Structure 1
Amino acid sequence: MDLFALPPLAALLDLSTRGLLALTSFLSPVAGGTAAALAVVVVTLVVRAALIPVGVSQARAERDRARLAPRLRVLRQRWGKNPERLQRETMQLYRDAGVSPVAGCLPVLAQAPVVGLLYAVFLHAQVAGHANALLAESVAGVPLGTSLLAAVTGGAADAMTLALLGGVVVVIAGAGELTRRFLRPPQDPAAPAWAGRLIAVLPFTTAIVALFVPLAAGLYLAVTSVWTFGQRCVLRRIYPIAG
């Protein structure tokens, strides 16, 4: 079931789409044929800037978890066979350190409706019972509703389509590689080997998603990936992780 088919959410989706189309019209005298794509980029930047406090909360939580990790390992070694005692000791450790075990999670959940609504605008071909006019807009002749996989399998992948959509995927993958190299959290020696492999692969999942979604959504993911990497680099300096 598509939740955005429900009348209240459909109305919000329609309002968001109309807002992006209005911004496209506003930017058209300056940006010309790239106005719709620029509107997607601008709105994404505005949303990411508004969510900076969420990033700060996550950076603090990541630092605190890394700081407590050695003591948590000791607790697991001592009370691993007694789950109830381990839970009590773990919660006591968090209380003594003045750290919440769910720190960073609640702000992420709070941002979900905003991010979900914006992302839904780029994914829905139909909005409130009518065609999503935003996805009919194009950049360099490539409609914002075109996905790389659909273009390739449907035989519509001309040079510009491949260059534009492929470039978006490359940008996202590049941000993922930079994240893997420079922002990978310290590995817990007690963690299973598959956990380390999963952490190494996770930064590239967004690039895989970009193969399937419309160009508008791909632009959103590309801007978000680059912004997130840059923001995390800055916050890692402010809230450094030992080790």
Structure 2
Amino acid sequence: MDLYALPPVAALLDGAHRTLMGLAGLLEPFIGVSSAAAAIVLVTLLVRAVLIPVGVSQAKADRTRARLSPRLAELRRRHGKDPERLRHETMALYAAEGASPFAGCLPMLAQAPVLGVIYALFILPTIAGHPNVLLEQQLGGVPLGSSLAGSIAAGTLDPASLAVFLVVIASIALVGEVTRRVFGLAQERSTDAASPSPLATPVARRLVGVMQFITAVIAVFVPLAAALYLLVTVVWTLGQRVLLRRAFPPESA
């Protein structure tokens, strides 16, 4: 069964297609052939602006987790050999504090449908029965529907296209490294203070560091349009986290 052919999905994609093409048409007199790429950037910024309250909730949850870190470490020390008891006591502690251990997942979960729509818009040759003209749009001469991995596999990658892909993907990786340095080291200090937290182990720290670059790896395989969405998202996320960390500094235990 073709999920994209289902009437509700097809109608959603058709509306998103018309919206992006409409924005691109408005921007074209000012930006030219890259107007569709600019429209994606604008849509991404609008989505992230709508999600600001979710980011604030996440920042508050991070502050609460930092304050609870010593108590969580104590629970792990006492109930580490009884996972079910540990889970129960941990959830009870969060419930008593009016917090959730899963709050950090909300921004990405909220964005997933938008990213899925953008991904579909740049892989489907037809949408709701009409040709997908978004596939003809470009950024720096590179079709927004192409990917680095796909271009390499098809043997169509040229130096100019490679440069565009590398700029986008390397920028995502760079932002990931900055995020790791700014927030990973702070997490290290907080988990060190709350030993024996699992996050304080060298293996866990290396894993957290690698996780920062998964978005860059994903950008290798998705269409350039989706990679552009990811780039704007990680830049916004870093800036928002810096501002919210200042507005909601970690609480003391």
TM-score by length of 2: 0.85
Name the aligned partner's letter for residue 41 of structure 1: V
Which string of whole-angstrom CA distances, capped at 9 and with x for unpartnered residues, describes residues 92-144 of structure 1? 42344333444455565445434433443344444234442112112332211
Give the equivalent residue in structure 1 for 2:162.
162
Alpha-carbon offset, residue 227 of structure 1: 1.0
Give the equivalent residue in structure 2 for 1:74.
74
Q: How many residues are matched?
A: 243
2:115, 2:226 within 8 Å by CA — same for their partners in 1?
no
Alpha-carbon offset, residue 31 of structure 1: 1.1
Alpha-carbon offset, residue 159 of structure 1: 2.4
RMSD, matched Cα: 2.4
- Inter-partner Cα distance in structure 2 for 1:139 and 1:102: 37
Unpaired stretches in structure 2, ≥5 consecutive residues: none
> Which shifted more, 201-210 or 181-190?
181-190
3-state SS in 2 of match to 1:145: coil
> Which structure 2 residues correspond to residues 182-201 of structure 1 after superposition, within 5 A?
182-184=182-184, 186-187=187-188, 188=191, 189=195, 190-191=197-198, 192-201=201-210
- Inter-partner Cα distance in structure 2 for 1:198 and 1:127: 40
Alignment CA distance shift 1:162-1:129 (3 Å): same
Which string of whole-angstrom CA distances, capped at 9 and with x for unpartnered residues, describes residues 130-185 of structure 1? 44211211233221112112223323222221111111111111111111110225
Give the equivalent residue in structure 1 for 2:216.
207
Give the equivalent residue in structure 2 for 1:93.
93
1:54, 1:108 within 8 Å by CA — same for their partners in 2?
no
2:170, 2:216 within 8 Å by CA — same for their partners in 1?
yes
2:215, 2:230 within 8 Å by CA — same for their partners in 1?
yes
Name the aligned partner's letter for residue 186 of structure 1: Q
Name the aligned partner's letter for residue 21 of structure 1: M
- Inter-partner Cα distance in structure 2 for 1:120 and 1:61: 33
Alignment CA distance shift 1:230-1:129 (3 Å): same
1:57, 1:107 within 8 Å by CA — same for their partners in 2?
no
- Inter-partner Cα distance in structure 2 for 1:143 and 1:132: 13
Give the equivalent residue in structure 1 for 2:237.
228
1:123, 1:217 within 8 Å by CA — same for their partners in 2?
no
1:125, 1:145 within 8 Å by CA — same for their partners in 2?
no
Alpha-carbon offset, residue 228 of structure 1: 1.0
Alignment CA distance shift 1:150-1:118 (3 Å): closer
Give the equivalent residue in structure 1 for 2:151.
151
- Inter-partner Cα distance in structure 1 for 2:86 and 2:155: 58
Alignment CA distance shift 1:54-1:2 (3 Å): farther
Alpha-carbon offset, residue 67 of structure 1: 1.3
Give the equivalent residue in structure 1 for 2:24.
24
3-state SS in 1 of match to 2:17: helix
Alignment CA distance shift 1:71-1:239 (3 Å): same
Alignment CA distance shift 1:145-1:111 (3 Å): closer
3-state SS in 2 of match to 1:113: helix
- Inter-partner Cα distance in structure 2 for 1:66 and 1:58: 12
Alignment CA distance shift 1:103-1:165 (3 Å): closer
Alpha-carbon offset, residue 5 of structure 1: 3.3
